[in-house]
Every structure is written in C-alpha cells, then in structure tokens.
C-alpha cells in the first residue's frame, strides 16, 4: 500500500497541527494556512490572555465555516510548566554564580544575577546537585548551595535567559501535579467556546487524565460530546505508565522537547517509533511534535535534517505532525505549513510509508477490527477508488484509517463535533449528513454527497462501511460494494 492521492481538499493524508500566535493571528495568514493544509489550530495557553484566545477562536471558526473546511481547535494547557519570569533578557556565562528564586521575591533586589521562576514549588523542591535546565536544556545551571536568599547555582552552559522560556528540573518538575489552578481557569473559559481537543501537559498517570475528564464534565454539565483529551508524553513517568495512559486518553502526542530532557535524548527517536506504533495498533490518533521545522522560525527554508525528520514521522505512520514556534512567532508561518505539506505528500507517494502486513496484530478489537480488515481487503481486491464510512462517534473512521489504505476515506457524520475531531485522523475527509431513517437512506445520501462534490466518477467503485443510523456506540455492521452511477 502506498498512500497516494489524498483528499480532494489536499493531496496529503497525514494531518498538520499548527500553533497560532502573533505571527499567524490575522485573518489573511490564518486563511492562507488553512489553504496550504493546516487541519488543526493549536492554542497554547502558556501564552496570550483570554481575550486574545477568544478573538482567534472566533476567526478560525469563521474561516472554517466560510471555506467549508472543518478545522479542529486544540486548547493546550500549560500544566505544571515552570517558566522564567525575568522581565528582561539576562546574559550569563559559563562558571558564573547566579541565584535562582521565586518571582514572588523579585522585590528583594538581590546583589547577584538572578533567574526568577514563576513557580514557588520548584524553589522549595530544589536540592544541592540538581540541574536547572532552561529553554529545552540550552542553558544549564547546577545548584551548589541553598539559603534564605534562594538557590545559588553555577552556570554549566551559559547563554541569554529570556522571559517566559521553559524551565525543567529532571526528577523534580514531575512532582508537581499535571492539572493546576491556572489550567482549571483556562478550562472554565475555553470549554464553552467549543474547542475540539484539550491537550494535557506533563501527564504522568491515568488518574490525571480521569481528573481532567471529570472536570470537563462538571464545567460543561454533560458527559457526552466532550472535547477529546490529548495526552502529551513528555515525562519519564508517562513512558513507564504508557499502556494505561493510551487506554484512558483519546489522542497521544509525542512531545519531544521535554521528553528529550527527562529521558536520554538518544532514546527519543526510538520512543517516538514505539509510541506511534502502539497508538496505531490501538486506533488512537498520534501526533509527533516539537522542532520539526524549527529553523523556519528564522529562515525561509528548513534544514535537510528537519525535512528528514518530518518525512520519518510520516514513515512511522503518525496521524499528524505539528508546528510550534514556526507558525506561532516565526517569520514564515504560511511557508512552514506549505513546506510541511510538500514533505508529507512526497513521502506518501513513496513506498516507504507502506504498512507492513500483520503490523496491526488486530487482537484487541474483535468484530470491529475484523470488519475494518474486510473493508480494507475488499477495497484492494475490487479496485475501489474510495472507502465511504458512516460514523457518528468517529470510531469506525479510526478503525478504517489505522489500516492506512491507499483509497481515499470519506466520512459521513451528523455530528459537527465528530467532523472537527476527524481533523486529526489520518487520511479522512468528512462531510455532514442529516439524520437518516434507515441504511438505504444513509447510503443514498452518502453517494449523493460524493456526486455533488465530484469526488468519484461514473463507474468507479466504493466500499461503504456503516452501522445502524441510530446506534451511538462503537458498532459496525455493514460492508458493501457500490458503483457510482
């Protein structure tokens, strides 16, 4: 199988998540990013105030509505992220002694150069010998003593400490819970605005995911049609507990920045492949993130290594790849999306992203997996041009997509929430259908949608996979070959 062709709205099958920031907040840039292949807009709640986020969410929804192109909205919670709270850049040199203290004590005016941090808990937890890593470890401090003034550190790797950059203390940062008071405030603000995904930072175990889901139910006053939870894998504990986290979450993100600090960095490429493979086998969408085209923050072209990195994520069978600073605050947000799309398309045209026979195993899904497998094999044997999936919850679409078929996957749903959440499922293009009385009407309306959008030509075959129109559970009951008349 080579994933050729792609959807009518773009040749690629792997989805693109792009972070929105000052460089991309305007209507014109957002529209161009959607045109070039952005499927999901990520809003990083580590930055920006609520009024800014509300304005951007409104713009994205308007663009999605006008373009008739479903764009998923992801609210990314900061979690226990520790950040630099200095108001100005601070240059520090190797061998220099600097203080690390809480921003609550910024009025103390210490005599030594001081790195202020925004989380007082870390200051309490710091011990002599701990390393304090700033901006993904580019700057490294080591605690040499502690007193009432704070933690005195020796600079191991110097540089410029910039405001709002992330701080990590291996083995210590993870002791702070994943869901903070600030995160709760974000959820109360953003959930009523109708986001499709909530990304949870620094997940350690299933209990944290369950706590987030319980809180979302409480805020929204319902247990159905909740945003899907994206578990960001960036802690050593998350690797240890990954099997249970995978079961409890809806989507997985390989957050390689902090993962490369918590774990030996040479292990990250292998962990990425293992996480993507396990997610694919479980029919859970998986995103590969962090520094994919990082040099495009400054330059109009990526490095060859970055191009290879994106291509390898496609070859690993990730559902989506993500842009962070490239689109949030870089000089070339639209070009970054366009470049990523080109890399995806070229890789998907090659045989190297083919799914090996037997890769999925298919021991966990019984009847559902058997029906999906049948649809996939029937599509190949009948030389069908498309697989048409009727899916209320998105489950059937995910089960088909995990086979990475060469045929286009068109999903029919009557749920706007499901349609937006499919923006993270590999190879799917979704359409809204009204409620149908029976299977015959469902099939007829699906075929009419394909005809209206000129997606199949007369005489071309399609495989139709559906369940009962009124059954909301994870259920598939029909696989049928149809021909466009």
- The encoded tokens of residue 51 equal 């009024």
Sign of CA dihedral 78, 82, 87, 90: negative
| Active-site hit among 15, 204, 213, 232 | 232
Residues 366-483, CATH architecture: 3-Layer(aba) Sandwich (3.40)
Q: Check residue 244 and give its pLDDT.
A: 98
Q: Check residue 2 and give its pLDDT.
A: 40
Per-residue pLDDT of the chain (485 residues; tens, 9 = 90+): 343 333 334 489 999 999 999 999 999 999 999 999 999 999 999 888 999 999 999 999 999 999 999 999 999 999 888 889 998 999 999 999 999 998 776 566 777 899 999 877 777 889 999 999 998 889 999 999 998 878 999 999 999 999 988 898 887 766 777 788 889 999 999 999 999 999 999 999 999 999 999 999 999 999 989 999 999 999 999 999 999 999 999 999 999 988 988 889 999 999 999 999 999 999 999 999 999 999 999 999 999 999 999 999 999 999 999 999 999 999 999 999 999 999 999 999 999 988 877 788 766 556 778 888 899 999 999 999 999 999 888 998 999 999 999 999 999 999 999 999 999 999 999 999 988 888 888 889 999 999 999 999 999 999 999 865 444 455 567 899 999 98
| CATH number, span 82-174 | 2.40.33.10
Q: Which of 29, 38, 5, 20 is nearest to 341 (CA)?
A: 38
Q: Is 418 among the residues known to form the active site?
A: no
End-to-end Cα separation, the chain, in angstroms: 27
CB 366 within 8 A of CB 470: no
Q: Check residue 1 and give its pLDDT.
A: 39
Q: Is 142 among the residues known to form the active site?
A: no
| Active-site hit among 12, 13, 81, 83 | 83
CATH 2.40.33.10 intervals, the chain: 82-174
Q: Is 164 among the residues known to form the active site?
A: no
CATH 3.20.20.60 intervals, the chain: 15-79+178-349
Beta sheet of 386-390, edge-to-edge order? 428-432, 408-413, 386-390, 461-466, 478-483
φ, ψ dihedrals at 402, nearest 5°: -65, -15
| Active-site hit among 12, 13, 15, 42 | 42
- The encoded tokens of residue 479 equal 């696989």
16 Cβ contact partners less than 8 Å away, ≥ 6 residues apart? 37, 38, 39, 40, 320, 321, 322, 323, 337, 340, 341, 344
Q: Is 83 among the residues known to form the active site?
A: yes
CATH 3.40.1380.20 intervals, the chain: 366-483
| Active-site hit among 14, 19, 180, 290 | 290
Q: Check residue 475 and give its pLDDT.
A: 58
**pTM score, whole prediction:** 0.88
Q: Is 264 exposed, middle or buried (0-12, 13-18, 19+ CB in 10 A)?
A: exposed
Sign of CA dihedral 257, 262, 267, 271: negative
Answer whether CATH 3.20.20.60 is correct for domain 15-79+178-349: yes
């Amino acid at each position: 199988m080579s994933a050729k062709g792609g959807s009518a709205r773009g040749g690629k099958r792997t989805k693109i998540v792009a972070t929105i920031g000052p460089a991309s907040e305007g209507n014109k840039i957002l529209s161009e990013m959607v045109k070039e292949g952005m499927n999901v807009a990520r809003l990083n709640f580590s930055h920006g105030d609520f009024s800014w986020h509300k304005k951007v969410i409104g713009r994205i929804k308007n663009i999605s509505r006008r373009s008739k192109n479903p764009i998923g909205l992801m609210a990314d919670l900061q979690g226990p992220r520790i950040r630099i709270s200095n108001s100005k850049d601070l240059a520090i040199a190797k061998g220099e002694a600097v203080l690390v203290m809480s921003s609550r004590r910024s009025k103390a005016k210490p005599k030594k150069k001081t790195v202020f941090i925004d989380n007082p808990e870390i200051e309490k937890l710091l011990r002599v010998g701990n390393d304090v890593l700033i901006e993904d470890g580019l700057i490294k401090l080591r605690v040499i003593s502690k007193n009432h003034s704070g933690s005195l550190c020796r600079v191991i790797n110097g540089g410029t400490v910039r405001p709002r950059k992330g701080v990590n203390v291996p083995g210590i940062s993870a002791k702070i819970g994943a869901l903070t008071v600030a995160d709760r405030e974000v959820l109360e603000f953003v959930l009523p605005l109708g986001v499709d995904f909530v990304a949870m930072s620094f997940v350690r175990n299933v209990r944290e995911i369950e706590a987030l889901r319980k809180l979302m139910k409480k805020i929204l006053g319902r247990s159905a049609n909740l945003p899907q939870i994206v578990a960001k894998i960036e802690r050593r504990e998350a690797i240890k507990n990954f099997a249970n986290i995978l079961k409890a979450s809806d989507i997985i993100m390989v957050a390689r920045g902090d993962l490369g600090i918590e774990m030996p960095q040479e292990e990250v490429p292998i962990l990425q492949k293992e996480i993507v493979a396990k997610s694919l086998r479980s029919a859970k969408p998986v995103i590969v993130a962090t520094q994919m085209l990082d040099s495009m923050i400054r330059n109009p072209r990526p490095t060859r290594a970055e191009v290879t990195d994106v291509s390898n994520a496609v070859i690993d069978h990730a559902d989506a790849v993500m842009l962070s600073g490239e689109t949030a605050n870089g000089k070339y947000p639209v070009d970054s999306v366009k470049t990523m799309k080109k890399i995806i398309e070229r890789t998907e045209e090659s045989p190297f992203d083919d799914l090996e026979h037997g890769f999925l195993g298919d021991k966990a899904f019984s009847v559902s997996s058997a029906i999906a497998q049948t649809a996939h094999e029937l599509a190949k044997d009948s030389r069908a041009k498309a697989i048409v999936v009727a899916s209320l919850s998105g489950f059937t679409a995910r089960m088909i997509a995990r086979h990475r078929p060469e045929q286009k996957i068109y999903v029919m749903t009557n749920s706007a929430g499901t349609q937006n959440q499919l923006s993270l499922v590999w190879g799917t293009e979704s359409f809204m259908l009204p409620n149908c009385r029976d299977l015959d009407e469902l099939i007829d309306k699906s075929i009419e949608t394909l005809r209206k959008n000129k997606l199949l030509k007369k005489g071309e075959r399609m495989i139709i996979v559906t369940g009962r129109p009124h059954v909301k559970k994870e259920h598939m009951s029909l696989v049928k070959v149809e021909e466009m008349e």
